[in-house]
């Protein structure tokens, strides 16, 4: 290897289905499909061919490889491919310079034979990849990102190949993975099925584990479109070496020492290990906002189903990395939902001084559950006991539609509006991480003094209106984090209108390839309800078919059957970061919308917007807003509210914003 930049990405496949964005391509004239990745790479797959997999599952593994490769531009001057298989022996199936076009590469993958070997010498496979694949003599190119995807269904097992115990073999695997990372490789670990070794996989993975450590329940789930695109997207968008050297982000709660106990439901109703992992990822997300240590925040975890298990005390892990590693290794089990036992364990064990609970430090309890308690009477008694103590701030998070809302409110501290969260599935837990943390966290450093803003717009508190948000969730947004900035913008807008009195109603739509009505105007009759509804809105990916969203808006959302009120002002707020995929169809649908006498506001984000298209959608040029990025949406919120409420001449400093027509 030369000293040039090499970026290797190892995927040791494990079970977590994520929908990640697809990158738009400018030219599909050669290959008639949209691909996730247009970048070039030297891409090596390292695939498990051991006996534990079985031939039918191995063929599914090969299919997964082919589907991922179809998301890349393959060729001698594009992305090159090599494959290493391993069981008790390691075999380089083909190198980077052996095949030069997509058809030959895909055919070669299909011809790989299943070895059914009696061992899993992962350390030898990684060594062969490092020494014998990423070698200029076999087609490795200096300066081109090196990407490795490893697929395995279990931990390292030397068998009779080498005179090593499994523990020694695992150490060798971790050592080889570390060598790859020292070379500049990005290492993703993904394991398949129930026999994986999470600690080995996390040791192989780069940091942070929640990004580079993935898992799937079985080989069938390898071949979902969401997973193959996710793998291709992550492999395509590996950060540069310079980005790797950036210091980690500072925690948000450095100045707020806290003893926090998470109580996690692991009952049968979760259905899959993947869903349970989403609970663990939520905890990891919260931890990322905390400064962990004996003088900062401490974390303990309790899991429960038929029995409660005190996983580890508050003072066990005193740094973030070891804490996250411990959490990601917590096993899933099945059973009933004995919430009362978990609450009892929190009081009697987790918050005991002997287990690290500190005097004078805030105590936070967080329960995450997807169902009602098996013994509601005992749960009620335990909740009463918690509240009698009065020094524990309890939060309750309900997942799905089977939990008991009254029970959550009973467990949580008062007021329930600040301490109870509801999300429609486990995947949506990640969306409330920041919101949840903000409920008990003081900022680590003082926030900058905000720029003066106009007073709240009182007219909106008395004005009847039906408000519909159309939010772009196309591929160009790239991440759920970016999409969340649109949701935060909507969330904050809600504070300026009066939903609780019945004056205002709110609906939300999202769009990319297809529009989706997240909820209609008559779905929620309170601000709290609307904000809870926003928590369940997910990011997907796709093109920007704004016309389809406007058509659904006219035909479905702005109808009396779905809550639109005759004689009430209709306000439509469109947020988009790009030009419509079908501008002619958009022109037709926009004309239909304007005939509905709706007041339309168009907000363009970033450099890819089309100002003329925004002006076409908006009711008038003064209803067009343009901002440089998603973070800047907050800069125009009060200005937008003023316009919406008919109070747009409040002497706002308009030069602060990019408003109105732009050349």
CB 37 within 8 A of CB 72: yes
Q: pLDDT-derived band of residue 33, with 50, 70 and 90 as boundaries? A: low
- Domains: count for the chain: 3
Do both 618 and 479 map to the same domain? yes
Q: How many residues does the chain have?
A: 663
Please, which residues have CB within 8 angstroms of residue 11's CB and are 6 or more apart in sequence?
A: 148, 149, 150, 151, 188, 189, 190, 214, 231, 234, 235
pLDDT score of 460: 66
pLDDT score of 8: 55
pLDDT at 261 exceeding the cut of 90: yes
pLDDT at 660 exceeding the cut of 50: no
- How far apart (Å, rounded) are the C-alpha atoms in residues 229 and 36? 7
* Closest alpha carbon to 186 in 12, 441, 434: 12
Average pLDDT over residues 584-605: 89
pLDDT at 238 exceeding the cut of 60: yes
pTM (2 d.p.): 0.42
Q: Does residue 76 lie in a domain region? A: yes
- How far apart (Å, rounded) are the C-alpha atoms in residues 369 and 379? 13
pLDDT score of 29: 34
Q: pLDDT-derived band of residue 14, with 50, 70 and 90 as boundaries? A: very low
Average pLDDT over residues 600-606: 91
- How far apart (Å, rounded) are the C-alpha atoms in residues 200 and 153? 12
249's enclosing H/E stretch is none
DSSP characters over 543-583? ---HHHHHHHIIIIITSGGGTPPTTSEEEEEEEESS--S-H
Domain membership of residue 604 as a residue range: 465-645
Residue 51: CATH number of its domain: 3.40.50.410
Do both 620 and 562 map to the same domain? yes
Instruction: For residue range 162-185, list pLDDT tens digits in order.
Output: 888 888 888 888 888 777 777 767
CB 189 within 8 A of CB 12: yes
- How far apart (Å, rounded) are the C-alpha atoms in residues 351 and 361? 11
pLDDT score of 328: 84
CB 203 within 8 A of CB 177: yes
4 versus 178: which is more confidently predicted? 178
pLDDT at 457 exceeding the cut of 50: no
Q: pLDDT-derived band of residue 365, with 50, 70 and 90 as boundaries? A: very high
pLDDT at 150 exceeding the cut of 90: no
The CA–CA distances, whole Å, from 141 to 3, 99, 100, 137, 462 equal: 12, 15, 14, 9, 66
Q: Does residue 491 lie in a domain region? A: yes
Do both 330 and 425 map to the same domain? yes
Q: Does residue 534 lie in a domain region? A: yes
pLDDT at 256 exceeding the cut of 80: no
- How far apart (Å, rounded) are the C-alpha atoms in residues 270 and 229? 25
pLDDT at 408 exceeding the cut of 80: yes
Q: pLDDT-derived band of residue 3, with 50, 70 and 90 as boundaries? A: very low
How many helices and strands in the chain, by DSSP H and E?
Answer: 21, 21
265's enclosing H/E stretch is strand 258-265
Peptide bond into 208 cis (omega under 30): yes
Do both 75 and 183 map to the same domain? yes
Average pLDDT over residues 326-335: 88
271 versus 238: which is more confidently predicted? 271
- How far apart (Å, rounded) are the C-alpha atoms in residues 185 and 5? 9
Q: What percent of the chain has pLDDT over 70?
A: 84
CB 623 within 8 A of CB 636: no
Q: What percent of the chain has pLDDT over 90?
A: 34
Average pLDDT of the chain to the nearest whole number: 81
pLDDT score of 148: 83
- How far apart (Å, rounded) are the C-alpha atoms in residues 396 and 293? 25
Do both 326 and 383 map to the same domain? yes
Instruction: For residue range 375-398, list pLDDT tens digits in order.
Output: 999 999 999 998 887 689 999 999
pLDDT at 117 exceeding the cut of 50: yes
Q: Does residue 453 lie in a domain region? A: no
- How far apart (Å, rounded) are the C-alpha atoms in residues 392 and 223? 45
pLDDT at 27 exceeding the cut of 50: no
- How far apart (Å, rounded) are the C-alpha atoms in residues 56 and 341? 43
DSSP characters over 635-663? GGHHHHHHHHTT---S---GGGSEES---
pLDDT at 24 exceeding the cut of 60: no
pLDDT at 92 exceeding the cut of 50: yes
**Which of 67-76, 131-140, 351-360, 598-607 has the weakest average pLDDT?**
131-140
- How far apart (Å, rounded) are the C-alpha atoms in residues 156 and 147? 21
**DSSP alpha helix (H) spans, 390-518:** 405-411, 416-419, 433-438, 480-494
* Closest alpha carbon to 231 in 67, 80, 39, 429: 67
Do both 348 and 424 map to the same domain? yes
**Which of 30-34, 424-428, 553-557 has the weakest average pLDDT?**
30-34
pLDDT at 55 exceeding the cut of 90: yes
CB 37 within 8 A of CB 236: yes
pLDDT at 433 exceeding the cut of 80: no
Q: Is the dihedral of CA 495, 501, 502, 503 positive or negative?
A: negative
pLDDT at 655 exceeding the cut of 70: no
**Which of 17-26, 233-242, 627-636 has the weakest average pLDDT?**
17-26
**Which of 86-90, 267-271, 571-575 has the weakest average pLDDT?**
267-271
Q: Does residue 660 lie in a domain region? A: no
Q: C-alpha 135: how far from its chain's center? A: 35
Bridge partners (DSSP) of residue 309 are: 303
Instruction: For residue range 510-562, list pLDDT tens digits in order.
Output: 998 899 999 999 999 888 888 888 888 888 878 889 999 999 999 999 999 99
φ and ψ of 609, to 5 deg: -75, 160
Do both 475 and 510 map to the same domain? yes
Average pLDDT over residues 620-648: 80
Do both 265 and 228 map to the same domain? no
pLDDT at 6 exceeding the cut of 70: no
pLDDT score of 253: 56
The CA–CA distances, whole Å, from 375 to 327, 337, 341, 349, 371 equal: 27, 8, 10, 21, 12
Average pLDDT over residues 57-70: 93
Q: pLDDT-derived band of residue 662, with 50, 70 and 90 as boundaries? A: very low
Domain limit, last residue, from 396, 423, 438: 438
Of the spans 220-234, 427-441, 571-585, which averages the highest pLDDT?
571-585
Do both 321 and 421 map to the same domain? yes
Average pLDDT over residues 2-13: 47
Q: pLDDT-derived band of residue 20, with 50, 70 and 90 as boundaries? A: very low
pLDDT score of 254: 52
Bridge partners (DSSP) of residue 192 are: 216
Average pLDDT over residues 609-625: 85
- How far apart (Å, rounded) are the C-alpha atoms in residues 159 and 117? 10
pLDDT score of 95: 93
Q: Is the dihedral of CA 114, 120, 122, 124 positive or negative?
A: negative
457 versus 352: which is more confidently predicted? 352
Q: pLDDT-derived band of residue 651, with 50, 70 and 90 as boundaries? A: very low
The CA–CA distances, whole Å, from 77 to 42, 176, 283, 316 equal: 10, 29, 43, 52
Do both 505 and 623 map to the same domain? yes
pLDDT at 414 exceeding the cut of 70: yes
Q: Does residue 115 lie in a domain region? A: yes
Q: pLDDT-derived band of residue 431, with 50, 70 and 90 as boundaries? A: low
Q: Does residue 173 lie in a domain region? A: yes
Do both 136 and 276 map to the same domain? no
Bridge partners (DSSP) of residue 472 are: 511
Do both 283 and 140 map to the same domain? no
Q: Does residue 2 lie in a domain region? A: no
pLDDT score of 444: 47
């Amino acid at each position: 290897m030369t000293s040039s930049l090499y970026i290797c990405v190892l995927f040791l496949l494990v079970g977590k289905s994520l929908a990640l964005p697809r990158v738009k391509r400018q030219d599909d004239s050669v290959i008639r499909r949209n691909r996730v990745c247009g970048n070039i790479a030297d891409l090596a797959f390292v695939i498990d061919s051991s006996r534990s997999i079985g031939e039918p599952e191995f063929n599914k593994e090969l299919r997964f490889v082919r589907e991922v490769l179809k998301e890349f531009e393959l060729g001698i001057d594009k992305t090159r491919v090599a494959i290493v298989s391993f069981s008790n022996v390691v075999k380089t199936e083909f190198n980077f310079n052996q095949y030069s076009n997509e058809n030959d590469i895909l055919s070669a993958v299909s011809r790989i034979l299943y070895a059914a070997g009696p061992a899993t010498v992962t350390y030898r496979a990684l060594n062969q990849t490092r020494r014998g694949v990423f070698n200029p003599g076999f087609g490795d190119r200096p300066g081109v990102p090196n990407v490795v995807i490893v697929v395995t269904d279990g931990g390292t097992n030397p068998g009779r190949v080498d005179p090593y115990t499994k523990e020694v073999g695992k150490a060798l695997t971790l050592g080889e993975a570390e060598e790859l990372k020292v070379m500049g490789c990005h290492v993703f670990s993904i394991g398949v099925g129930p026999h994986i070794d999470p600690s080995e996989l996390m040791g192989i993975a780069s940091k942070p584990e929640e990004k580079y450590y993935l898992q799937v329940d079985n080989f069938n789930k390898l071949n979902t479109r969401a997973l193959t695109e996710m793998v291709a997207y992550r492999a395509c968008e590996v950060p540069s070496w310079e980005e790797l050297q950036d210091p980690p982000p500072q925690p948000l709660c450095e100045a707020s020492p806290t003893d926090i106990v998470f109580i996690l439901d692991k009952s049968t109703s979760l259905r899959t290990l993947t869903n349970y992992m989403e609970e663990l990822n939520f905890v990891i997300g919260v931890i990322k906002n905390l400064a962990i240590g004996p003088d900062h925040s401490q974390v303990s975890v309790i899991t429960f189903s038929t029995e409660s298990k005190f996983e580890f005390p508050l003072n066990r892990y005193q740094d973030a990395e070891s804490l996250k590693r411990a959490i990601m290794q917590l096993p899933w089990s099945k059973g009933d939902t004995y919430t009362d036992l978990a609450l009892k364990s929190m009081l009697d064990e987790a918050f005991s001084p002997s287990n690290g609970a500190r005097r004078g430090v805030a105590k936070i309890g967080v329960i995450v559950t997807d169902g009602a308690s098996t013994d509601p009477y005992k749960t009620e008694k335990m909740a009463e006991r918690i509240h009698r103590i009065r020094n524990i701030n309890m939060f309750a998070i309900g997942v799905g539609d089977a939990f008991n809302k009254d029970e959550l409110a009973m467990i949580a501290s008062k007021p329930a509006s600040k301490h109870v969260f509801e999300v429609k599935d486990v995947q949506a837990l990640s969306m409330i991480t920041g919101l949840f943390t903000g409920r008990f966290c003081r900022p680590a450093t003082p926030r900058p003094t905000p720029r003066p803003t106009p007073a709240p717009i009182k007219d909106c508190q008395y004005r009847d209106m039906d408000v519909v948000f159309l939010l772009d969730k196309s591929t160009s947004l790239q991440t759920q984090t970016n999409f969340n900035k649109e949701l935060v913008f909507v969330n904050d807008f809600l504070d300026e209108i009066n939903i609780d009195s019945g004056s205002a109603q709110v609906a939300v739509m999202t769009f990319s390839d297809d529009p989706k009505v997240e909820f209609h105007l008559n779905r929620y009759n309170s601000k709290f309800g609307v904000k809870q509804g926003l928590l369940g809105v997910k990011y997907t990916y796709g093109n920007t078919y704004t016309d389809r969203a406007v058509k659904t808006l006219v035909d479905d959302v702005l109808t009396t059957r779905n809550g639109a009120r005759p004689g009430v002002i209709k306000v439509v707020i469109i947020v988009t970061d790009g030009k419509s995929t079908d501008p002619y169809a958009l022109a037709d649908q926009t004309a239909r919308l304007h005939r509905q006498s709706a007041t339309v506001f168009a907000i363009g984000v970033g450099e890819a917007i089309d100002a003329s298209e925004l002006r076409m959608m908006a009711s008038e040029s003064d209803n067009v807003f343009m901002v440089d990025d998603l973070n800047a949406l907050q800069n125009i919120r009060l200005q937008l509210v003023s316009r919406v409420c008919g109070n747009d001449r409040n002497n706002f400093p308009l030069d602060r914003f990019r408003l109105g027509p732009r050349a």
